[in-house]
Amino acid sequence: MKTPLTRARLLGLIAALLLAGCGPTEMHELEIRGGLYYKKGESSPYSGPAVAYFPTRDEDDDKKIYKEAFFANGKPDGTWVTYFHNGGRKEVKYAFGKINGQVRVFDARSKVREETTYVNGRRHGGQTAFNKEGKPVENHFYKDNIRRPYLQPGERTEFKESVKAEMEATAMENQ
């Protein structure tokens, strides 16, 4: 079920894409003022897609994307993707300018190598590292950015519900 917030953000994304024109803004065209991102020379916080490229030696070289990002009212929003030279990538989910949700690191074969849960920009939940076969090799648990003993199965369900409630409360505060 979609919430009004999701519909509003989707409409905002569509409007920003229409206003942005043909393609995304390059990250070097943005600057930070007062904690918000602005397109250089503009007075309104930037909303829309942005991209950064790996440096090249020659202007004729093909540009390879290093980072794909999105901004809403000058704050990071949506899923940001950072690509690595080795073919791997990192996906970070933002809401209201803070990391919220899963941060995932993938290897060159698109297998998840690490997963960490964030709420309001802080590690809050499980963090798991995986081997090449995709099996967990390390598990940690964080609450308010502090590493804690891992929860027992019954406690995990209660914790997931409390994280969900915190994320919903944050969304309501930021409307």
**Same domain membership, residue 174 and residue 103:** yes
Number of domains composing the chain? 2
The torsion angles phi and psi of 6, rounded to 5 degrees, stand at -65, -45
**Same domain membership, residue 109 and residue 36:** no
Report the pLDDT value the prediction gives residue 2, as an integer from 0 to 100.
Answer: 45
**Same domain membership, residue 48 and residue 15:** yes
Looking at 71, 95, 130, the residue that finishes a domain is 71
- The boundaries of the domain holding residue 49 are 1-71
**Same domain membership, residue 66 and residue 97:** no
Enter the pTM of the model.
0.72
**Same domain membership, residue 172 and residue 89:** yes
**Same domain membership, residue 133 and residue 60:** no
The torsion angles phi and psi of 127, rounded to 5 degrees, stand at -135, 125
Q: Is residue 151 part of a domain?
A: yes
**Same domain membership, residue 108 and residue 134:** yes
Q: Which residues pair with 25 in a beta bridge?
A: 50
**Same domain membership, residue 144 and residue 98:** yes
Report the pLDDT value the prediction gives residue 163, as an integer from 0 to 100.
Answer: 65
**Same domain membership, residue 171 and residue 89:** yes
**Same domain membership, residue 111 and residue 59:** no
Reported as a single tens digit per residue, the pLDDT across 136-151 is 888 888 988 888 866 5
Side chain identity, residue 101: G
Q: Which residues pair with 52 in a beta bridge?
A: 67
Reported as a single tens digit per residue, the pLDDT across 32-88 is 999 999 999 999 999 999 999 998 877 767 889 999 999 999 999 999 999 999 999
